[in-house]
Structure 1
Amino acid sequence: MTTHPRLGEVGTTASPARHLPSPRAPADLHSEVRWRSSEAIVVRVTGEIDTCTAMGLERTVREHLRARPAALRVDMGEVSFFGAAGLRALHRARLLADDAGVHLVVDAGGSLAVQRALDLLDRICAASSSRA
């Protein structure tokens, strides 16, 4: 039986150090009511919407849905980052609004991050409905 001379060396060399990215500061999400009447509520959301803050967005929408206005507009024109968790939060908010009989309007305004995410969502929905 022959043994390869390098078999004893397996695992003896140190693997090169891999540097992980530095953790980023926690994202901020702020909301404020811009307009409130018995018929409509306009809420402005600012900051970043990611995994850490998406539940805050959903909580904000849910809180205003309790008032059962005819329409709830979420102004997201000053959102600087909008990740997949934000899309999930908006989807859940849409379901809650439908159950409450409230017309939910999401306004991307001048936020390129939100516009891109909503455009992508529109394309996905259009493609899935054309297959049916």
Structure 2
Amino acid sequence: MTSLSTPRALDEKRAFSVSSEKRALGEPRGRLRLHVSRPTKGTTVVKMNGEVDLGTAPRLWEMLDQRLHGSGTTVIVNLSELDFFGVTGIRALERAQLLADETGTDLFIFAGECRSARRLLGLCEGGCLKVL
């Protein structure tokens, strides 16, 4: 029987952990579809369908990062049509709020009827996120 204190056993354990993490990151539970519109001059709305989880949150962040570096003065993130919004989505929104503060952009979050988004945003109430 191999002891966990041997270097080889530790390497095997690390290899299993890393491959499990890569599998989890590479296989999102659901798809995320993003749609951007500009209803008025200076306003951008980012609307999405599907799920925001560990696998799809980086796409959300990339979209917000691009929009917050743009010329708009207001960005509204509409979560109302999501099936699921996970904790990693909150992290993406927090990063986006920090970037919005740096660029002088107003960032607003609309949870709508997405229960998981409303629940998580409720935990952030009074924090840095501006929830509509």
Structure 1 length normalisation: TM-score? 0.70
In structure 1, distance between residues paired with 2:95 and 2:28: 26
| Deviation of the 1:40 alpha carbon | 0.7
Report whether the alignment pairs 1:98 with 2:101. Answer: yes
Residues 25, 66 of structure 1: alpha-carbon distance in 2 compared, 3 angstrom cutoff = closer
| Partner Cα distance (1:87, 1:26) in 2 | 17
Aligned-pair CA distance for 1:57: 0.7
The match for 1:17 is: none
The residue identity in structure 1 corresponding to 2:98 is L
Unaligned runs of 5+ in 2: 1-23, 128-132
Counterpart CA distance in 2 for 1:26 and 1:41 is: 28
> Quick check: 1:72–1:103 contact (8 Å CA) kept in 2?
yes
Contact 1:33 1:43 in 2 (8 A): yes
Q: Is the 8 A contact 2:60 2:92 kept in 1?
A: yes
The CA RMSD measured in Å over matched residues stands at 2.1
Structure 1 unmatched ranges of 5 or more: 1-22, 126-132
Aligned-residue identity in percent: 32
C-alpha offsets along residues 69-119 of structure 1, whole Å, 9 cap, x if unaligned?
110001110111111111111110111111110000111011111111100
Name the residue aligned to 2:48. 45
Answering whether residue 66 of structure 2 is matched by residue 70 of structure 1, we say: no
Higher helix share: 2
CA contact (8 A) 1:40 1:72 kept: yes
**Secondary structure of 2:79 counterpart:** strand
Counterpart selection for 1:117 from 97, 120, 124: 120
Aligned length: 103
Cα pair 2:28 2:54 within 8 Å, conserved: no
Kindly state the Cα deviation for residue 34 of structure 1 after the two structures are TM-superposed: 2.8
- How many Å apart are 1:37 and its aligned residue? 4.1
| Partner residue in 2 for 1:19 | none
Larger radius of gyration: 1
Q: 1:34 is matched with which residue: 32, 37, 45?
A: 37
Contact kept in structure 2, 1:68 and 1:101, CA below 8 Å: no
- Could you list the runs of 4 or more consecutive aligned residues of structure 1 that deviate by over 4 angstroms after TM superposition? none
